[in-house]
């Protein structure tokens, strides 16, 4: 018999299989039609009878990844207007007080969806938790600053989805007072913003940041420069009404053109210093500092103590940026002559290359660049967040994912830990290779489940007296000192200059 649950809007039926009930494509907000594309998320449109929730919904408007990245991650785009949806996996819809894990996907704030196969929550749910995957607006609809539209609409979507969870999750056996948000890349950056946001108070009690940072936020002034450039490409005014009158395909074409223009001319005077520094030519549209959701850069809010009552699990992979150099096929172009220019473009002292080369005598210029930017964009900020919270009432647990994939010398690259956390290795062979270590997936899945259930993943929290972190690897995962501290110190010294 199909499981049926009543939620905001009406009743939904799911599908039971192998000890889990899955409910897919449940709307938490109104369809994105007309002016609603650039408005705050609206109320769910009710339906009659029982709505079948057995297929994934449309994805929020986006273009496919470039071919080299798509070969690693796949392409998962479903057209349609009803994209503000959640997927729910539960071990027991009739259960009570089960821990809840809410997944916020990555994708550089321009791509991604809750329907990507490696985000399937069934395996985690079998561990005794209710898993929720959310969609939120990305790109222009989610983050362009437009007259007549609220700012940070993608984050407003996330807040709306979390309120839906609070109001509805008991029907799936979940405990609304035991909610953990977890996310990777842009999802982790979103969580940093939510941790520091007064607007998110009371919506979750624990958080996991995978491969994110606390610095990704643009000033409104700089973001308006980007929106003005988009409007110029489209030959319209930078208003919500004008953008809403343009079809999605034209908006996406303009967004792609903007990204190309920014790569070719990364001039902070043209785009704004906060866009260039935090976007790093990978992101053009992302959260901005506003009056409602992001009152200051997230790391500043965390430094001020916001979110310090929420247990945090935070970490990175060892070789994050190789995904963007090796994975995108541009590593061969990063020569000894080009490396100093690339470092300066990111606001970094070119002498950093010598500091990192001292620990990596056989590294190529591309290897050095990837190592430096891994620390600059991900590891340094993640560790700073942990350090800022070292005396907080709630603990902070730190990890590093170090297992190296055999694919394309990507090593322990960005996104590689995802199929291990979700235990979806069968869906990730293009990234992991044909024989990834199942034992590592078992270990990571167990740690995430333990954290969601108890607030402790199984090792000691970071503190000034014992700076120990978990290093996930195969055949063994071990607790030890923070790796590569000399390189991190060199980066931090350079950033002070």
320 included as an active-site residue = yes
Average pLDDT over residues 36-56: 97
Query: Over 80: is that where the pLDDT of 496 sits?
Result: no
pLDDT of residue 338: 94
pLDDT of residue 424: 98
pLDDT of residue 31: 97
pLDDT of residue 74: 86
278 included as an active-site residue = no
pLDDT, tens only, 256-292:
999 999 988 988 989 999 999 898 878 999 999 998 8
Query: Over 90: is that where the pLDDT of 75 sits?
Result: no
Q: Determine what percent of the chain is predicted with pLDDT higher than 90.
A: 90
pLDDT of residue 393: 96
Q: Determine what percent of the chain is predicted with pLDDT higher than 70.
A: 100
Three-state secondary structure of the chain: CCCEEEECCEEEECEEECCEEEEEEEECCCCCCHHHHHCCCCCCCCCCCEEECCCCCCCCCCCCCCHHHHHHHCCCCCCCCCCCEEEEEECCCCCCCEEEEEEECCCCCCCCCCCCHHHCCHHHHHCCCEEEEECCCCHHHHHCCCECCCCCHHHHHHHHHHHHHHHHHHHHCEEEEEEEEEEECHHHHHHHHHHCCHHHCCCCCEEEEECCCCCCCECHHHHHHHHHHHHHHHCCCCEHHHHHCCCHHHHHHHHHHHHHHHHHCCCHHHHCHHHHHHHCCCCCCCCECCCCCCCCCHHHHHHCCCCCCCCEEEEEECCCCHHHHCCCCCHHHCCCCCHHHHHHHCCCCCCHHHHHHHHCCCCCHHHHHHHHHHHHHHHHHHHHHHHHCCCCCCCEEEEEECCCECCCCCECCCCCCHHHHCCCHHHCHHHHCCCCCHHHHHHHHHHHHHHHHHCCCCCCCCECCECEEEEECCCCCEEEECCCHHHHHHHHHHHHC
CATH, domain 4-210, list 3.40.50.1820, 3.30.1360.40, 3.40.50.150, 3.40.50.20? 3.40.50.1820
pLDDT, mean over the chain: 95
Domain ranges (residues) in the chain = 4-210, 220-279, 311-496
Catalytically annotated residue among 320, 400, 417, 487:
320
Catalytically annotated residue among 57, 185, 190, 477:
185
409 included as an active-site residue = no
pLDDT, tens only, 285-297:
999 999 889 999 9
Please state which CATH number belongs to domain 311-496: 3.40.50.1820
pLDDT of residue 202: 96
Query: Over 70: is that where the pLDDT of 497 sits?
Result: no
Catalytically annotated residue among 248, 414, 417, 477:
414
pLDDT, tens only, 213-227:
999 999 999 999 999
Query: Over 70: is that where the pLDDT of 346 sits?
Result: yes
**pLDDT band of 305, cuts 50, 70, 90:** very high
Looking at per-residue pLDDT, the higher value among 494 and 138 belongs to: 138
């Amino acid at each position: 018999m199909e499981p049926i649950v009543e939620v905001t809007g009406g009743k939904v039926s799911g599908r039971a299989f192998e000890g889990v009930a899955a409910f897919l494509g449940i709307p938490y907000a109104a369809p994105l039609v007309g002016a609603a594309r650039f408005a705050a998320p609206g109320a769910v449109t009710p339906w009659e009878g029982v709505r079948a929730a057995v297929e994934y919904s449309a994805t929020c408007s986006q273009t496919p990844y470039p071919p080299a990245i798509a070969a690693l991650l796949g392409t998962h785009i479903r057209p349609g207007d009803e994209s503000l949806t959640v997927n729910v996996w539960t071990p027991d819809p009739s259960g009570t007080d089960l821990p809840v894990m809410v997944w916020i996907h990555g994708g550089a704030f321009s791509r991604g969806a809750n329907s990507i196969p490696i985000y399937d929550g069934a395996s985690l749910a079998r561990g005794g938790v209710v898993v929720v995957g959310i969609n939120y607006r990305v790109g222009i609809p989610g983050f362009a600053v437009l007259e007549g539209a609220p700012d940070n609409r993608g984050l407003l979507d996330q807040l709306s989805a979390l309120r839906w969870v609070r109001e509805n999750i008991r029907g799936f056996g979940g405990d609304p007072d035991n909610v953990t948000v977890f996310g990777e890349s842009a999802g982790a950056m979103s969580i940093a913003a939510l941790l520091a946001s007064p607007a998110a108070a009371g919506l979750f009690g624990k958080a996991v940041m995978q491969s994110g940072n606390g610095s990704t936020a643009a000033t409104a002034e700089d973001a308006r420069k980007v929106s003005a450039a988009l409007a110029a490409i489209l030959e319209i005014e930078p208003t919500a009404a004008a953008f809403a009158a343009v079809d999605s395909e034209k908006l996406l074409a303009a967004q792609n053109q903007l990204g190309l223009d920014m790569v070719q001319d990364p001039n902070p005077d043209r785009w704004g210093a906060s866009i260039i520094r935090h976007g790093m030519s990978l992101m053009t549209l992302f959260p901005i500092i506003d009056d409602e959701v992001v009152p200051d850069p997230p790391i500043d809010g965390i430094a001020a103590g916001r979110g310090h009552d929420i247990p945090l699990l935070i970490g990175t992979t060892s070789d994050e940026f190789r995904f963007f150099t090796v994975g995108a096929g541009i590593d061969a172009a990063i020569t000894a002559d080009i490396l100093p220019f690339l470092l300066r473009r990111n606001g970094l002292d070119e002498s950093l290359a010598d500091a990192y080369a001292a620990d990596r005598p056989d590294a190529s210029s591309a290897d050095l660049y990837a190592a430096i930017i891994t620390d600059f964009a991900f590891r340094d900020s993640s560790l700073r967040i942990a350090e800022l919270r070292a005396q907080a009432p709630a603990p902070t647990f730190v990890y590093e994912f170090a297992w190296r994939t055999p694919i394309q010398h990507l090593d322990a690259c960005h996104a590689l830990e995802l199929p291990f956390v979700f235990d979806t290795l069968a869906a990730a062979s293009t990234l992991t290779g044909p024989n990834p270590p199942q034992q590592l997936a078992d270990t990571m899945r167990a740690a995430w489940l333990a954290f969601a259930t108890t607030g402790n993943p199984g090792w000691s929290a970071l503190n000034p007296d014992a700076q120990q972190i978990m290093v996930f690897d195969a055949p063994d995962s071990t607790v030890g000192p923070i790796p590569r501290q000399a390189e991190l110190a060199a980066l931090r010294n350079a950033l002070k200059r």
